[in-house]
Amino acid sequence: MFPVNVTGDAAATDRRIEIRSAGGAAATWHIPEETPVAFVYNRRNFAVMLATPLDIVDYVVGFSLTEGVVDNVSDILGLDIIHTEKGVDLRVRIAKKRLERFDLRQRRRNMPGTAGCGVCGLESADAFFAVLPQVSETPVKLNEKIVLKAIKTLDGRQPINQRTHTVHAAAWVGLDGAILQAREDVGRHNALDKLLGALALANADIKAGFVLMSSRCSYELVEKAARRGVTALASISGPTNFALRKAAEANMALYARGPSGVVELVG
């Protein structure tokens, strides 16, 4: 893997506050951290996202891949993680060939991205309608009982959410329904970037499982997953119509937990 240098003290992922109920009883509540994270490639500013400061290396790799900054982990030559009072600066060194092929000035975001939106600030709305790569010849079929098994065990793989009850998770699930990896973040798209980055670093077989999200299935989740060749995406709640159309475009299978159990969604 590329060299990583860390400066400063890492921020906490959540903090504890004291609250009082309507009846006056004192209690403790954990709330998640939401930190500005700046992505800088070869000294060129690209984006500032709001994210949970956890699994930073996975986040850098996943974000760089799903945003098209790099094609492979090998395109990343080094990373400086700088923790400051205002947030986290990620200074990424990428191969020169990537700068020649990818003009950061034209593709850059022109405003900060929030934890809730993975495409905020893009200079052109055309990015929403870029044709996604096809991840399979025809959508794969998952056993709905397998998907439900993964959904039922997801809570146990979310340590931050168990304390805060407010963060999202992205999980990598084997075809037997066992959760193999999971990542958390205040933003669902950030959690997915972290997961996809972890899978890329582990050189995982992307065809040997599916992604499970603890949220609704939105457009940017389909887009990010498709760019990494994910063939099936399951979510706790249903998709947006745009997400459904884009999944059909990519031949990606979508599953969601509905009123009567897990259902396959067809665009």
Catalytic residues: 117
10 Å Cβ neighbour count for 250? 24
> Rounded distance, CA 4 to CA 133, Å?
31
Q: What is the side-by-side strand order in the sheet with 88-94?
A: 4-7, 76-83, 88-94, 35-41, 44-51
- In angstroms, the CA 188 to CA 161 distance is 13
Q: In this structure, are residues 36 and 109 in contact, taking their beta carbons and an 8 Å threshold?
A: no
State residue 252 phi and psi, 5-degree precision.
-95, 130
Best CA proximity match to 136, nearest among 264, 233, 247, 231: 231
DSSP secondary structure code for residue 55 in this structure = S
CA 113, CA 224: separation in Å to the nearest integer?
15
Q: Nearest CA to 29 among 18, 37, 39? A: 18
User: 10 Å Cβ neighbour count for 199?
Assistant: 24
Residues 6 or more apart whose Cβ sits within 8 Å of residue 153? 179
